[in-house]
Amino acid sequence: MSEKKEVSLVRFFRGANLLGQTILQEGKTVVEHSYLAEVDIPTNCTSGNCGACMVTLLSGEVSVPEPMPPGLDEDFIADGARLGCIGIPKGDVDIDILPPL
């Protein structure tokens, strides 16, 4: 018998509304996944400096780079903030496309 490989999903919300989802593509950023899910996340610098792509991590894991880029700080991270242009999701992830308030 062959083992079934578990599929992980990256899902995008705006509040309680599911906007789209896609199968996790290892090594791709949150913004790249949003394109696959046909969900628009604004970007500007694409290097983590401006914060235009800030989203809120609802569940799962999205990488936070070291050293921390200027677009993030410890308080934002504690509130679930991640930068979509450089954050790499791992496993099942739920993202609110709005930044934390």
> Is there a contact between 65 and 86 (Cβ–Cβ < 8 Å)?
yes
What architecture is the 9-96 domain classified under in CATH? Roll (3.10)
> Is there a contact between 13 and 33 (Cβ–Cβ < 8 Å)?
no
The tens digit of pLDDT for each residue in 58-67 reads: 999 999 988 8
The pLDDT value given to residue 1: 56
Residue 23 reports pLDDT greater than 90: yes
Q: What CA–CA distance (Å, rounded) separates 39 from 11?
A: 10
Residues 6 or more apart whose Cβ sits within 8 Å of residue 40: 34, 97
End-to-end C-alpha distance for the chain, whole angstroms: 49
Compare 73 and 88 and report the one with higher pLDDT.
88
The percentage of residues in the chain with a pLDDT greater than 70, rounded to a whole number, is 95
Boundaries of every domain in the chain: 9-96
Residue 26 reports pLDDT greater than 80: yes
Q: What is the DSSP-derived secondary structure letter of residue 32?
A: H
